[in-house]
Homo-oligomer: A and B are copies of this chain.
Amino acid sequence: MGERVSTSVEPDFGRSPLVAAIAQDAGTREVLMLAWMDREAWELTLATGYAHYHSRSRDRLWKKGETSGNVQRVLEIRVDCDEDAVLLIVEQTGPACHTGERSCFYRMAPPPGAPG
């Protein structure tokens, strides 16, 4: 990946008040979960170094692991080309998924392109 670090890199919250946020394990490179961030969650994540998100269903800020203890220490944040998605490279404590699975993406669909 490119290594363009800039303090001006941030999502375009004016256009997209909620942006998709992908959490990827820094060690295994496994994609752990997808959640949402508004400006408040973004700023708290930057300020504290721990992942904060915005819950769409509960319409409120949450710190990942606030009840379970399964926090995400954020090592790196990347913003995509059209500034409506972010990628967090994290150290995950415990499982990321509320089901107890390591990743929320634990179910596999049938192989694509396979007959019938």
Q: Could you tell me which A residues sit within 8 Å of B by CB distance?
A: 1-7, 9-10, 20, 22, 24, 29-31, 33-34, 45-50, 74-82, 85-87, 97-99, 101-114
The CA-CA distance from A22 to B32 in the complex, in Å, is 11
CB–CB A108/B9 < 8 A: yes
CB–CB A101/B20 < 8 A: no
A22 to chain B, nearest CB (A): 6
A6 to chain B, nearest CB (A): 7
The listed residue with most B CB atoms (<10 A of its CB), out of A4, A7, A10, A111, is A111
Residues of B with C-beta under 8 A to A79 = 105, 107-109
Q: Which residue of B lies closest to A102 (CB)?
A: B1
CB–CB A108/B31 < 8 A: no
